C-alpha cells in the first residue's frame, strides 16, 4: 500500500473510531464500518485499530476470524458456499463442485478476477434432505445439479447489473 493510501486509510479508521469511541465494546461496530467501506478488513486496518484501542492485534484478528459476517479478504459480489457435509456429499456434491470450478474457472477459496464470484465450502446448512445444497450470499439453493449451476450463475450475472438487487432469480 502506498503511504498516501495508508494515510487515507488511517484517517478513515480514525473517523470511524471517533464515531464509536475507544472502548472494547466498540470493536465490532468499528470493524463493521471498516468492512462496509472496503469490503474486507486487512492486516493494516487490524493493526491500526488495535493501536488505537490499545489492544493486541491478535485480539482484533480473533474477532474478525470468529464472526462469519466479518471478512479478512475481499470477496466477490456473490459468495457461493457449497455444503460439503455428508448428506450433500452422498447426494452428488462432487459433480456440482466440479461444475462450479469449471464454470467460474477458480478453485474453492478463490475469487474471480472480475470480483463477481467467490467460491467457498460450507459445513451443513440445514438442508440435508434436499442436497446438494448451496448458498449464494444468504440465499439457499437445494437439489442443485450441474445443470442448475448454469442457471444459478446466469441469474447472478443478470442480478449483477441490477443496482441493489438482493435476490438471485433463477428462471
Ligand atoms: S449435509 Fe448439506 S445441508 Fe446438511
Burial of 65 (0-12, 13-18, 19+ CB in 10 A): exposed
28 touches ligand 1 (CB under 6 Å): no
Q: What is the largest CA-CA distance in the chain?
A: 53
pTM, rounded to two decimals: 0.65
- What pLDDT score does 19 carry? 96
Domain boundary among 40, 66, 92: 66
pLDDT at residue number 166: 58
Same domain, 142 and 82: yes
Q: Are residues 110 and 43 in the same domain?
A: no
CA 93 to chain centre: 21
Pocket test for ligand 1, best of 96, 123, 124, 132 (most atoms within 8 A of CB): 124
Are 8 and 42 in a shared domain? Answer: yes
Q: Are residues 86 and 156 in the same domain?
A: yes
Residue numbers of the chain with a pLDDT score lower than 70: 1-3, 161-166, 171
Exposure of 149 in the CB half-sphere (CA atoms within 13 A)? 21
155 shares a domain with 90: yes
Q: Is 102 helix (H, G, I), strand (E, B) or coil?
A: helix
Same domain, 85 and 138: yes
CATH of the domain at 127: 3.40.30.10
**What pLDDT score was predicted for residue 93?**
98
Residues 6+ apart with CB under 8 A from 9: 1, 44, 45, 48
Say whether both 94 and 119 belong to one domain.
yes
Same domain, residue pair 118 and 151: yes
- Kindly report the backbone phi and psi dihedral angles of residue 78, in degrees, each rounded to the nearest multiple of 5, phi listed first: -115, 120
Q: Give the range of the structural domain holding residue 16, as residue numbers without chain letter.
A: 3-66
pLDDT of residue 87: 97
> Closest Cα partner for 80 from 123, 130, 122?
122
Which of these three, 18, 38, 66, is where a domain ends?
66
39 and 85 in a single domain? The answer is: no
Residue 118 bridge partners (DSSP): 79, 111
Residues 152 and 92 grouped into a single domain: yes
Q: How confident is the model at residue 142, as a pLDDT? A: 98
User: Residues near 53 by Cβ (< 8 Å), separated by ≥ 6?
Assistant: 17, 22, 23, 24, 26, 27, 30, 60
Q: Is 32 within the bounds of a domain?
A: yes
- Nearest ligand 1 atom to the CA of 83 is 2
Using CA atoms, how far residue 125 sits from 29, 87, 148, 160, 167, in Å, is: 26, 11, 19, 25, 18
CA of 155 to the centre of ligand 1 (A): 23
Q: Is 143 within a domain?
A: yes
Query: Based on the domain organization, do 56 and 115 belong to the same domain?
Result: no
- Per-residue model confidence (pLDDT) at position 86: 96
Quick one: pLDDT at residue 171? 66
Domain boundary among 46, 66, 86: 66
The answer to whether residue 166 sits within a structural domain is: no
Count how many domains the chain has: 2
Is 131 touching ligand 1 by the criterion CB < 6 Å? yes
Q: Provide the grid cell at 149.
A: 449451476
Whether 98 and 26 map to the same domain: the answer is no
Amino acid at each position: 500500500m502506498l503511504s498516501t493510501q495508508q494515510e487515507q486509510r488511517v484517517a478513515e479508521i480514525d473517523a470511524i473510531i471517533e464515531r464509536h469511541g475507544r472502548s472494547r465494546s466498540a470493536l465490532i461496530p468499528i470493524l463493521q464500518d471498516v468492512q462496509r467501506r472496503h469490503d474486507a478488513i486487512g492486516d493494516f486496518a487490524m493493526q491500526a485499530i488495535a493501536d488505537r484501542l490499545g489492544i493486541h492485534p491478535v485480539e482484533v484478528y480473533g474477532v474478525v476470524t470468529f464472526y462469519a459476517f466479518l471478512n479478512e479478504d475481499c470477496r466477490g459480489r456473490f459468495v457461493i458456499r457449497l455444503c460439503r457435509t455428508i448428506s450433500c456429499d452422498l447426494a452428488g456434491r462432487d459433480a456440482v463442485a466440479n461444475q462450479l470450478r469449471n464454470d467460474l474457472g477458480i478453485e474453492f477459496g478463490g475469487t474471480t478476477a472480475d470480483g463477481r464470484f467467490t467460491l467457498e465450502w460450507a459445513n451443513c446448512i440445514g438442508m440435508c434432505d434436499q442436497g446438494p445444497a448451496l448458498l449464494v450470499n444468504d440465499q439457499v439453493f437445494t437439489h442443485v445439479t450441474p445443470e442448475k449451476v448454469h442457471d444459478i450463475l446466469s441469474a447472478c450475472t443478470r442480478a449483477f447489473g441490477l443496482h441493489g438487487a438482493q435476490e438471485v432469480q433463477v428462471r
